[in-house]
Structure 1
Amino acid sequence: MLYDIKLVIDYAFETPAAGARQMLRAMPLNINGRQRLIAGRVSIDTDAVTRIDRTDFFGNQVTEMAFTEAHQEIAISLGSRVEVTSGAAPMNPSCDLSGLCLELNQHRDLGPRSPLHFLAPARYTPADPGIGAWAEPFAVAGLAVSGIVANLGLALHNEMRFDAGATTVDTPAAEAFAARHGVCQDFTHIMIIALRRLGIPAGYVSGYLRTLPPPGQPRLEGADAMHAWVSAWCGPETGWVEYDPTNATFAGTDHIVVGYGRDYADVAPVRGAIRTAGSQTSNQSVDVAPVEARLALA
């Protein structure tokens, strides 16, 4: 599938901001055998900025911005074309939990995709007794780790209710789990905590998701949003698989990867600080359009 992706983020300040530093992680990745970034560009609609484009430890594309002069508004836009040729469902049989434990004990690689980075608690994914107790029954002896990932993700999907207004970025995963509602970030953080409790390395995937309008309704530009799902390591034969608990499915060709991290803190689309007084407003829109659909409308 070919996709054209557009992201627009606008900030407006009541009084001019004296300075700001921001980091943007929104450019889709190149992933060998799965996803190819054909073209991409980040534009910043102000002259009061210096920028650095770099790659972080986990291989994600980062645009750093420093606004050194007073400014009343900021407009950041990203445009890209991406080809997605496959998903991240398990392709090979995986070991069971005892086999996974042996493999992890022998693992020595500390590179960006080493599973050892994804076992310990992190800022948004602290160990939680309630989530841990809920996860324990899924540790079935002899069952393939990939099967445990799918069973746990499906159960979480069935127990949780998606509610766009229920939580914020800083809502603890334990709070969202206790209330059994939240957004994709909450589903993802809860599943990560649960999998790590079972000894399964698990991380956060930030990206875009193609969404389909209701039957008979036109597709609305800007109606999409950035999405999140889980990456889980199932042993050396199977490797990393990706499961979307919000939608109860392994990641497929509708899932477009932007970044990998231990949790949201590593892959937040925008992160930084602004020095200003008074109120501010911000708006974000995302458009994920299959190229075939654009050609059909031309």
Structure 2
Amino acid sequence: MLYDLSLTIDYSYDAASDRTRNILRLLPSDITGVQKVRQRLLTVSPLPDERRDGTDFFGNEVSMVAWHHPIDALSLQLTAQIERFEPASRLDLSAPLKDLYREVIAQKSLAASAPHHFLASSPRVPILPQITAYGRECLTPDMTALKAVEAVGQALHRDMRFDPEATDVDTSPEDAFENRHGVCQDFAHVMIAALRGVGIPAGYVSGFLRTFPPPGQPQLEGADAMHAWVRAWVGKEHGWIEFDPTNDQFAGTDYITIGYGRDYGDVAPVKGAVRSAGGHRTQQAVDVIPHDETPS
């Protein structure tokens, strides 16, 4: 599936900010077997005094920008054309859950995609006893790792309520789970905590979900902004899979990936420091449109 993607994030400040510096993770990149970026452009306005583009440890595209003079507004605009491929066969080649840990420790690589980085607590996702217990209740002794991931994701979709007013970007997995509500970031963080708690390496995926459903299907929640879902390592034969607990489905051709990390902190789209007074306001707009339906 070929998509035309556009994203705009606007900030306005009550007082002009001084010495603003941001780290942006907004540019999509090629992912073997998953997606191909045909074109992309990230425009920053006003023009920063410094800009440096590169990649982080997990292979995500990073743009570091800074202004040496006061600014009272900031606009980030991304346009891209991305081809998303059909997922590989859904045949379950994953390890039996009881054997998964042995397969993890047998992995000798410590590269960015190694499961070792995604098994322990991370800054925003601690392993919590109550979430681990919830994860264990979803499992049966004969499950494969893939089926375990699906079972945990389905349970969270059933038991948690999508509520864009209930949480904010700083809400902890513990609070979101206790109240059983949140947005896609909360669903992903709780699922990651549950999977790690039962011994399944799991990480965070940041990206986009197409903005309208296939014919005859209901609107998917979280499609009007950046989206988040979960990736999990299910054994040496099957490798990584991706599941969206917010919408109870494996990630497929409706998804565009921006970045991978241990939790939201590794892939936050905008992170930085601003020296200012008063508050600020932000707006975000996203369009993910199949290329053959994009107006000329």
TM range (shorter): over 0.9
The CA deviation at 1:90 is 4.3
Q: Which amino acid aligns with 1:61?
A: E
Q: Using a 3 Å threshold, how does the CA distance of structure 1 residues 52 and 93 change in structure 2: closer, same or farther?
A: same
Q: Using a 3 Å threshold, how does the CA distance of structure 1 residues 88 and 206 change in structure 2: closer, same or farther?
A: farther
The answer to whether structure 1 residue 184 and structure 2 residue 184 are counterparts is yes
The CA deviation at 1:138 is 2.9
Runs of at least 4 residues of structure 1 off by over 6 A?
213-216
Partner deviation per Cα, 1:2-42 (whole Å, 9 max, x = no partner): 11111111111222111111111111221112200000011
The CA deviation at 1:215 is 7.8
Counterpart position of 1:42: 42
> What is the CA–CA distance in structure 2 between the aligned matches of 1:74 and 1:82, rounded to whole Å?
26
> What is the CA–CA distance in structure 1 between the aligned matches of 2:292 and 2:145, rounded to whole Å?
37
Conserved? CA contact 2:138–2:155, under 8 Å? no
Alignment of 1:150-189 (within 5 A): 150-189=150-189
* C-alpha RMSD of the superposition: 1.8
Q: Report the more deviating stretch, 237-246 or 134-143.
A: 134-143
Q: Which amino acid aligns with 1:121?
A: S
Return 5+ residue gaps in structure 2 as ranges: none
Counterpart position of 1:97: 97
Counterpart position of 1:11: 11
> What is the CA–CA distance in structure 2 between the aligned matches of 1:131 and 1:227, rounded to whole Å?
22
Partner deviation per Cα, 1:209-229 (whole Å, 9 max, x = no partner): 00316989xx9xxx7210000
> What is the CA–CA distance in structure 2 between the aligned matches of 1:173 and 1:89, rounded to whole Å?
32
The CA deviation at 1:130 is 1.2
Q: Report the more deviating stretch, 226-235 or 136-145.
A: 136-145
Counterpart position of 1:60: 60
Counterpart position of 1:25: 25
Conserved? CA contact 1:88–1:242, under 8 Å? no
Q: Which amino acid aligns with 2:199?
A: G
Conserved? CA contact 1:35–1:86, under 8 Å? no
Normalised to the residue count of structure 1, the TM-score between the two structures is: 0.93
> What is the CA–CA distance in structure 1 between the aligned matches of 2:135 and 2:213, rounded to whole Å?
34
Alignment of 1:259-278 (within 5 A): 259-278=259-278
Q: Which amino acid aligns with 2:64?
A: E
**Aligned-partner SS, 1:18:** strand
Normalised to the residue count of structure 2, the TM-score between the two structures is: 0.94
> What is the CA–CA distance in structure 2 between the aligned matches of 1:233 and 1:214, rounded to whole Å?
29
The CA deviation at 1:197 is 0.6
Counterpart position of 1:134: 134
Counterpart position of 1:258: 258
**Aligned-partner SS, 1:43:** strand
